[in-house]
Structure 1
């Protein structure tokens, strides 16, 4: 009886303490399994693009570009972009530098009309661009740093395309579906600020407490089922006796 009483009290009070978070976990799990991740990432709004072949004519050597900019480069990547062939130079220290492979210099600044057109060219769906703005600091939801272009579309999900100010590439996509999903993800891992850390003490502690609810629940079930079986056997003996 002492074990039953102790298990009952632990189960009741711990469940009361963590019940709301368990509700968030279940709700978050439902959202994350019900909404396809491709929809969250707005992949259905990405227009299929024909690969653009790299243009090697007139491409400057990365070593010469690095020397001109006094960079100690650890890696150089040549790629096609909406604005032409580009070198992405990753220095030993610091952030990658993107330059035109033809000129060795940074691409000219994008204007609003060009950014809008590039986003529209990359978009698939029934929406049209409604707002284009160059943000001096990338929003947290992009996971990027530095300036970034944001082009909003008036589709059902209120999709936003974020473009690189250097190359005009769509570096990430966000929508109200993504924000809804992200809200429940943050609740799920209890990191409302950044939505990245799922190893912090609060989450670990609540998970441990939830584990104790399961254990005490099994103990209560075992005791109650055993008691019910004993009562059933006693009644059966009385009827047969």
Structure 2
């Protein structure tokens, strides 16, 4: 292959790869601009979250060992045991492993009695108390499943999706079994999540940086850069003059 033929071949592939990769590079740039120009705390909804404070306790709490024995929960199966509050009521939340599955038990810390999962009214009240701004309630949805692209993916189910209007414009997800707010999702987060999917090129689950498509584009991008450098050297008059002088 002559030098001219090699340059034409290199230029052809450089042009095609540049056209294809240019679209993805443009999407990466748009995502990078959004990520760098937005406040991550606002995307996470931290500015809308009211700090959860455990109420002052004047009474003696029941020992966790009492209800562990009562519910026949082996101590070596416990993943977490924490004292929290649900609607100003002190509660023990026990997360344990049973047959390979994660289960949750809520128990009143003052009496040792079991607490049932949150009702819809309790979940709504918890969402309102957890929101740092006053906003009208617009919708309540009970979720029993969520897909790989759902904004509540990867979190405990079932859950109540409690949506508030302006100025919050946010959906608060409450787990009835955990008795807690799991996450806040706003339009800023949704835009972030969509651009993140384009950034990782994981169109199935959004969070896999090791997918084949991303790897392929990275390799093709390297080829495009190298072909561009090669074209610059082979077609540059400066390099040609230096090579000509060296031969003389």
TM-score class, shorter: 0.7 to 0.9
Distance 1:217 1:105 in 2: 71
TM-score, structure 1 as length reference: 0.81
C-alpha separation in 2, matches of 1:76 and 1:47: 24
In the TM superposition, residue 124 of structure 1 has moved relative to its aligned partner by 2.1
> C-alpha distance in 1, partners of 2:228/2:114?
64
Give the equivalent residue in structure 2 for 1:164.
175
Distance 1:90 1:122, change over 3 A: closer
1:67 corresponding residue in structure 2: 69
Give the aligned partner of residue 227 of structure 1: 237
- Answering whether residue 37 of structure 2 is matched by residue 34 of structure 1, we say yes
Distance (Å, rounded) in 1 between the aligned partners of 2:156 and 2:82: 22
Q: Are the equivalent residues in 1 in contact too, given 2:156–2:175 (CA < 8 A)?
A: no
1:91 to 91, 96, 103: 96
Q: How far, CA to CA, are the matches of 1:196 and 1:137 in structure 2?
A: 19
Shift of 1:228: 4.5
* Cα distance in 2 for residues equivalent to 1:186 and 1:3: 38
Match of 2:20 among 4, 17, 20: 17
* Native 8 Å contact 1:138 1:145 kept in 2: no
Structure 2 CA distance for partners of 1:145 and 1:114, relative to 1, 3 Å: closer
Other-structure match for 2:120: 112
| Equivalent residue, structure 2, for 1:239 | none
Partner of 1:176: 187
Using the TM superposition, give the Cα deviation of residue 203 of structure 1 relative to its aligned residue in structure 2, in angstroms. 1.0
The number of residues matched between the two structures is: 231
Query: How many angstroms does 1:62 deviate by?
Result: 3.2
**C-alpha distance in 2 between matches for 1:56 and 1:96:** 30
Give unpaired runs (5+ residues) of structure 2.
Answer: none
- The CA deviation at 1:134 is 2.9
Deviates further, 170-179 or 72-81 = 72-81
Segments of structure 1 that go 5 or more residues without pairing to the other structure are: 235-241
Greater length-normalized contact order (CA 8 Å, ≥ 6 residues apart): 1
Distance of aligned partners of 1:114 and 1:90 in 2 relative to their CA distance in 1, 3 Å threshold? closer
Q: Is the 8 A contact 1:186 1:195 kept in 2?
A: yes
Larger strand percent: 2
Q: Distance in 1 between matches of 2:167 and 2:232?
A: 48
